[in-house]
A and B are shown apart, each in its own frame.
Chain A
Amino acid sequence: MKKLLVLLVVLSSTLALFAQAAYNPEWLIADVEGGQRGGTLYLGTTAGPKTLNTYWAQETSSSVIINQGDVSLLSSDFYGQPTQPGLAKEWGVEATEDGGTLYWFVMREGVRWSDGHPLTVEDVIFTWEKIIVPDLTADGNDVYMDAEDNLPELTVEGNKIMFKYPTRFRFGFETVGGFAIMPKHVLEDKVTDAETFQSTWTVEQVDQLVVAGPFKVTEYTEGVRVVLERNPYYFEKSKDGVQLPYLDKIVFEIVSDSNVERLRFEAGEIDMMGVQAKDFPSLRAQADQKGWNVIIGPATAGSNFVAFNFNTADPVKREWFRNDNFRKAIAYAFDKQTIIDTLYNGLGEPTYGPRTSSSAFYNPEIETLGYRYSLVTAQRLLREAGFTWNDKGQLVDWYGNVVEFELNTNGENVMRNEISIILVDALGKLGIKVNYRPVQFNALVQRMYSENWDAIIIGLVGGDDPGWGTNVWLLDGGLHFWNWSPEVMDWVDPDEYWVHPAEKRIDEIMRIQRSILDQDELQKLWDEWQMLVAENQILVYTISQNYLNMHKNTLHLYPVEKYGTINPYGYSYSPGLWKIEYAWKE
């Protein structure tokens, strides 16, 4: 009996070895070496996933988990740009003679899904033709369209996939190179319509998941934890020949309160944590003793700004908000450095325009515009614009109206709340009365869509490439909320509608950028765009906190050793998770 058992064990392990050896795709060789295989990474998250279907995930709580299993033709580099190989081993773009753009990708051969089924060109075609083209996704397929709303035409020659746009279109690597590829053999009968597809791979269907990325969700205990296990068929290897990912498992422990996450990190139950600036000094003090690595990364991408409603219901206020000097005065009166020093323990940077210094497209020239805290400059600007002060010290406009307006933000966002309170105080010094009313998120969004607001503090997220923000910056964009076009919102009176000259130029830039393939030419446009926004303070940008990360020093994160910092863009939600397949534990 015992012999039989031994034989069985030997047989099954050789079989397993054989099965592994038999898997030999055209490996993607990663720029890492020396890591050790095995181990479990414990992370905290404040909410569990709501869906496991990447095309319907709208919350970071879902996408941060699902993305570990996603794979596309290209992957992102340190700046979030699609320049790295993924499923495609070679790729390129050609401007065709008929004025079109051809994006081509040569797929790796021999790759398999996590269930062992081969991953082929068929799966790419399936995802494109059955999910993206018929628009079964929550985001819609607008991002894949060129300036004339054309989707590219897909053709295949053996292992070469070609997407051809009829016009010049520069986003191909992000869009057609960046969509998550779904398994045809599993989802073939789920793509009949949007309703069916969105109910596919819900949290109830963990066991049906098939992925091609490094980690696959294998277990979800509602509200308790999510377990991801390594995909044995992941197609990436280290330079010294170890199949990635190094880690066997990632466990997301769900802790609803960030204080509790901190306690658990301190107790050693969680390996890595994004730190809030207010907690930073006290945690750092323990770092040496507890054996933590402390990382102060670059500024976060999403920055909060103050928007003034150019179409607010009150015509008097409208005139103030449309006045350049008024907005500039507010920028001068807002002491960004003090906020950073007091509220963020110095761990942040002032932002003057729509990109932070960590962006691949940042234009440092905007720093020379000189928007440093100065009440004197603010007062001078207001005086130049025709404002005066009455004997009570209140700011009065050219018709004698006392300047007073309402400021809203979603109060549950702590950072926005704090910024608002400081802004109210700062503007008080200029004699401006600001009535701060924090509201709930939904109420804020409803206001943005109406004429019933004066000023709002909010931040918008999106890709690093400014081209992804066209919906925000185009004059008739669906999110050009501080100055809705009458074509978009019927309550805007066309006779009262007014467009800032800078906004007109930005609109132009946003329209032409889509078809510019030359990087230098493109950067010139982005430089101009940032200058236009900053110079005129179309939106008054505030501050941006640094990415702060602490992790056990037994955990090795690839970019830390390579760059001495954590990439903020490659994984905009949770920077430490960028290229998590390279992370290993001692």
Chain B
Amino acid sequence: MLKYIIRRIILAIPVLLGVSVISFFVMQLAPGDFLDTYRINPNISREKIQELETLYGLDKDPVTQYFLWLGNVLKGNWGYSFVYKIDVWQVMLRRLEATLLLGVTTFIFTWGIGIPLGITAALHQYKFTDQTLSTIGLIGISIPNFFFALLWLMFAANTGIFPIGGMLSREFANMPWYAQIGDFFWHVAGPVITLGTASLAGTMRIMRGQMLDEMNQDYAEFARAKGMPSDVVIYKHTLRNAINPVITSLGFSLSAILGGALITEYVFSWPGLGTLMRDAIFQQDIYLVMANLLLQGILLIIGNLLADIMLAASDPRVRLRMSA
């Protein structure tokens, strides 16, 4: 198992290198650079812009820039943000917390509700419960996030039940810890429901389909015929088999947590990485964009690895393959 993990990590290195090369040169293909806003400022002379190009290393050709960057990354220096004039990690750390809080809460929401609902739907196939759940799920999946978020905010503004965007109340710093937690959930409800409804239906449908497939398999029938209680057949045997594809999709969820919520973050004024990256791309703050893309690559790899390990825990056949 350990050998397997080490092998996977070594294999990840060329993948990450590939990601960095492609993203760096795609960034270079985009017209202009960070200094474009300086260029149309009537108060800045051409000489000063050339001076700044040298200061930021933008006067070198892209290949040199890439290798300089790569060399620095290997030394642990990921470069600094042109806009913020601080280390890219510091910039990202300022946003990471908000993104993770939103991502993890959404993840718990979708999976924590989607899986049980999927099972329930499967157990009541074609009955009223199943059809109601499917309908609700379809509604959730078909309303665009942007629209849903705006509707939510209108609702919040008119009723005052929920805050109009944002992440922290004004009084947050003076609240006792339990009120702070409450404040967080009060604010996160809108974005989580917006993001959650979109993926909830998906998780639910997969779970339902898988459960139905497994429940109709010969082994399930055999177990029931043998006189095994229905609950044991469902929760001990079919569920364990049915959940495998859902676990596999977890690998992607981890990296999606970092990048998948741009529009929702924007509408809810949620101070996450999504909006930061949008601005960074527009401002051509290359090292910040690079760091974010690499971070996403790393998380995708870790996510897949975790998914595989979890899969091994749930499925003995996978375990056997890994140790081989």
* Cα–Cα distance between A155 and B130 once the two chains are bound (Å): 86
* Cα–Cα distance between A62 and B80 once the two chains are bound (Å): 18
Bits for B68-85, please: 1 = Cβ < 8 Å to A, else 0.
000000000000100111
User: Contact partner of A202 among B48, B84, B154, CB < 8 A?
Assistant: B84
A142, A222, A223, A267 pick with most chain B CB within 10 angstroms: A223
Q: A residues 200-223 with Cβ under 8 Å of B?
A: 202-204, 221-223
Using Cβ atoms and an 8 Å threshold, which residues of chain B touch A202?
84-86
Segment with Cβ contacts to A, from B90-98, B133-141, B239-247, B252-260: B90-98
Contact call A223/B43, Cβ cutoff below 8 A: no
Interface residue? A443 (CB, 8 A): yes
Contact call B37/A58, Cβ cutoff below 8 A: yes
User: Contact partner of B165 among A140, A264, A478, CB < 8 A?
Assistant: A264
* Cα–Cα distance between A441 and B48 once the two chains are bound (Å): 21
Contact call A472/B31, Cβ cutoff below 8 A: no
Interface residue? B168 (CB, 8 A): yes
Q: In the complex, which range does the number of interface residues on chain A fall in?
A: 35 or more
Contact call A224/B32, Cβ cutoff below 8 A: no
Using Cβ atoms and an 8 Å threshold, which residues of chain A touch B48?
135, 139-140, 142
Bits for B16-57, please: 1 = Cβ < 8 Å to A, else 0.
000000000000001111001111111111111101100100
Q: A residues 427-462 with Cβ under 8 Å of B?
A: 440-443, 445-449, 458, 460-462
Segment with Cβ contacts to B, from A65-73, A254-262, A391-399: A254-262
Contact call A255/B86, Cβ cutoff below 8 A: no
* Cα–Cα distance between A17 and B153 once the two chains are bound (Å): 46
Measured between C-beta atoms, what is the minimum distance from A248 to chain B in Å? 14
* Cα–Cα distance between A140 and B85 once the two chains are bound (Å): 17
User: Contact partner of B269 among A53, A135, A256, A479, CB < 8 A?
Assistant: A256
User: Contact partner of A58 among B38, B90, B276, CB < 8 A?
Assistant: B38
User: Contact partner of B95 among A199, A223, A460, CB < 8 A?
Assistant: A223
Measured between C-beta atoms, what is the minimum distance from B52 to chain A in Å? 7
Using Cβ atoms and an 8 Å threshold, which residues of chain A touch B279?
47
Interface residue? A269 (CB, 8 A): yes
Measured between C-beta atoms, what is the minimum distance from B263 to chain A in Å? 10
Contact call B95/A198, Cβ cutoff below 8 A: no
Q: In the complex, which range does the number of interface residues on chain B fall in?
A: 35 or more
Interface residue? A346 (CB, 8 A): no
Contact call A267/B164, Cβ cutoff below 8 A: yes
Measured between C-beta atoms, what is the minimum distance from A63 to chain B in Å? 12
Using Cβ atoms and an 8 Å threshold, which residues of chain A touch B297?
none
Using Cβ atoms and an 8 Å threshold, which residues of chain B touch A529?
none
Bits for B249-290, please: 1 = Cβ < 8 Å to A, else 0.
000000000000000011111111001100100101000000
Contact call B94/A468, Cβ cutoff below 8 A: no
Contact call A195/B55, Cβ cutoff below 8 A: yes
* Cα–Cα distance between A223 and B95 once the two chains are bound (Å): 8
Contact call B55/A263, Cβ cutoff below 8 A: no
- Beyond A202-B86, A263-B164, A443-B31, is A257–B266 a contact (Cβ under 8 Å)? yes
Measured between C-beta atoms, what is the minimum distance from A293 to chain B in Å? 21
- Beyond A140-B45, A222-B94, A442-B31, is A255–B165 a contact (Cβ under 8 Å)? yes
Q: What residues make up the interface of B, taking CB atoms closer than 8 Å to A?
A: 30-33, 36-49, 51-52, 55, 80, 83-86, 90, 94-95, 98, 150, 153-154, 157, 160, 164-168, 170, 265-272, 275-276, 279, 282, 284
> Could you list 19 examples of A-B contacts with CB < 8 Å?
A56-B85, A138-B52, A202-B86, A221-B271, A223-B167, A223-B269, A223-B275, A255-B166, A256-B267, A260-B153, A260-B269, A267-B164, A440-B31, A442-B282, A445-B36, A446-B36, A458-B40, A460-B42, A472-B42
